[in-house]
Homo-oligomer: A and B are copies of this chain.
Amino acid sequence: MAVHFKHVVIIGVGLIGGSLGMVIRRKALADQVTGVGRRVENLKTAVALGAIDRYVADPQEAVRGADLVVLATPVDTYERHLQEWAHCLSMGAIVSDVGSVKGRLVEQSESAMPPGVHFVGAHPIAGKEKTGVAAGSDQLFNGARCIQTPTKQSDSTALARVRQLWEEAGSIVLTMDPYVHDQILGAVSHLPHVAAFALMNALAELRDQQVPSLDLAGHSGGGLRDTTRIAASSPEMWRDIFLWNRDNVVSYIDRYTRALDELKQLIKAGDAAGIEKSLERAKGEREKLSSAAPSHP
């Protein structure tokens, strides 16, 4: 039998929160889905799109009696949210999330739980260049990965119920330590985002200060567009991710800068064999990615 909740509350009904609501309502995985958010217009849209049954303005009122509360707001807001309403949760309730960073965020969220309430960290990996519930779909997570990040404190029943929820959404659920999650996502997702954001900024400066005839839109092609696609991602969301995964991201930028400098020194020295060896290595590593399965940002 499919997992079932009495009352699910989604805090932050955007692309991810809203899509999860659509899955739960479409598959009748809960008796009731309530949305909480800052903007009433957005919540009305969420009701119209079938992402939630209803919304309430007061989160304390919303979470009272809920058996699952999902944080789907920017990760930097978790602490404030939990301080506001965690004490209203009933014994046995589960708080989960959809944040792109884990580590310290999971640790802090766990320690904000009242007795008998269980936190389960989760990171559904799904298209985040778009934002807003209007871009949502009950198919968003279908075939995508969702990383669950249990700790020593985790409750096994709560973990199993949240896992089942994501499996109902069509996700492939992986398990990782929260800090390992941040090391790995820092590498495959956060560093590429830094690279893309910085590349766009470097090219804009190049145009403004050095090559006035450079028309980025007119002269660019598929290579530049692919390489920088993720630079169009949400600045608010990525600001928080970079800050919450600060140590890894800073250390990875250093490593990337060293790789760039190594290639630069080879080019500067005219070391044809050295350049070719470096590019061969990169090509070999890139070709191993091609068979990789589901997409995420």
Contact = CB atoms under 8 A, between A and B. Distances in A.
Contact of A199 (B192, B251, B288): B192
A198 interface: yes
Interface residues of A, number: 97
Main secondary structure of the interface of A (DSSP, over half): helix
Interface in A183-202: 183-185, 187-189, 191-202
The listed residue with most B CB atoms (<10 A of its CB), out of A196, A231, A258, A285, is A285
Given A221-B296, A226-B227, 9 more contacts: A187-B211, A188-B216, A192-B223, A196-B282, A196-B286, A201-B278, A220-B289, A223-B296, A232-B290
A199 B296 CA distance: 18
Interface stretch (A33-41, A91-99, A269-277): A269-277
Contacts of A79: none
Given A231-B283, A267-B249, A286-B231, A221 B188 contact: yes
B276 A214 contact: no
